[in-house]
Every structure is written in structure tokens, then in C-alpha cells.
Structure 1
Amino acid sequence: MEEIKNAYETVFILSSKLDEQATAALVTKFKDLIAENGTVDGVDEWGKRRLAYEINKETEGYYVLINFTSVPAFTAELDRIYKITDGVIRSLIIRKEA
């Protein structure tokens, strides 16, 4: 029996202290991770934006939005990886309604 797959979107903010190569490497890392466990429907890199409030003494961050489809169990693992990855300031995963 095939597992049920849901549509999700995730936004993560990377530290503005990272250089361009490190930022690109992290974006690629997360895209590849999602692709291994589901399908990437779209990637939208918003670039550097001012944060609404200071986080860890930083006022800017690099925003990335990824739309993807996967099994529900993967989102918990993705969230865990966001939390242990240096350079990720904030992250959010939301299930989209059909």
C-alpha cells in the first residue's frame, strides 16, 4: 500500500554572517534532502531581508521558500535537521490544504 503524501511548504532563514558559498551549500543541502524523501515542487530564494526583530544579535537573514510533497513522517526529521544545522536562524514547515 502506498503511503499518503501531502503538500508542504517550508521557509528557513539562514544567518547573514555566512558567505555566498556557505549559503548556497546549505540551500543545496536542504533541496537535496527534500528531493531524496519526496519531490521538490519549487524553490524560491528571497535573498537577504531585514528581520522583523533581532534574532541572536542578527538583524538580517537569507530567506528561502521550498514547496514540496512528501510523507508526513519526513517533516519531523526535516525540522530536527534544521534545528541542529549551524547557520539556520529560524525554520517553519506548513502542510498546505488540498
Structure 2
Amino acid sequence: MPEVTNSYETVFILSTKLGEDGIASLVQKFKDLIAANGTVDGVDEWGKRRLAYLINKEAEGYYVLIDFTSVPAFTAELDRIYKITDGVLRSLIIKKEPEKAKKE
């Protein structure tokens, strides 16, 4: 029986204290992790943005959005890795609803 895969999108905010090289290496780490456990459909780096409120005494963060397809069990592991990785201020994983066929 083939495994069921779903479409997801994840947004994470990285600390700007990591510097450009640190941010680039973390973004690549998460892209590689997702690619190893599914398929990366798109990566959109929003860049440095001002936060709405201070997080860990930081006023700015580096935002990244990744669209991917994977098995449902992987999202729990990805969330766990976000939580234990230094430099990740916030993260969110959302299951995208399948697009319904247009009725004519």
C-alpha cells in the first residue's frame, strides 16, 4: 500500500544574530532535511523583517517559507528539530488543503 503524502507549508523565523553565513547554513539544513523526507516544492526567503514584538530580546528576524510534500509523521519530527535548533525563534507547519477541481 503506498504511503499517503500531504502538502504542507512551513514558516520559520531565524535570529539575525547568526549572521549571513549562519542563516544560510540553517536554511540549507532545513531544505536538505525536508528533501530527504519528502519533496521541496518551493522556497521563498522573505529576508530580514521587523518583528511585531520582541522575541528573546530581538526586534528583527529572518523569515523563510518552504512548501513541501511528505508523509504526515515527518511534520512532528520537523517541529521537534525546530524546537531544539539554536537560532530558530519561531516556527509553524500548516497542512495545505487539496485544491478541489473547478466546476464548470
- TM-score for both structures, normalised by structure 2: 0.93
Task: State the 4+ residue runs in structure 1 displaced beyond 2 angstroms.
Answer: none
Q: Which residue of 2 is the match for residue 33 of structure 1?
A: 33
- In our comparison, the structure showing a higher alpha carbon Rg is 2
Structure 2 residue ranges without an equivalent (≥5): 99-104
Mapped partners of 2:80, 2:50: distance in 1: 25
Cα separation, 1, equivalents of 2:25 and 2:50:
22
2:15 aligned with 1:9: no
Partner SS for 1:18? helix
Report SS of the residue matched to 2:17: coil
Gapped runs of 5+ residues in structure 1? none
Q: What is the count of residue pairs matched by the alignment?
A: 98
Matched, 1:54 2:57: no
Percent of residue pairs identical: 82
Residue of structure 1 in register with 2:45 after alignment:
45
Shift of 1:55: 0.4
How much does 1:6 deviate? 0.2
**What's the offset of the Cα at 1:16?**
1.1
Task: Return the alpha-carbon distance in structure 2 between the equivalents of residues 26 and 16 of structure 1.
Answer: 12
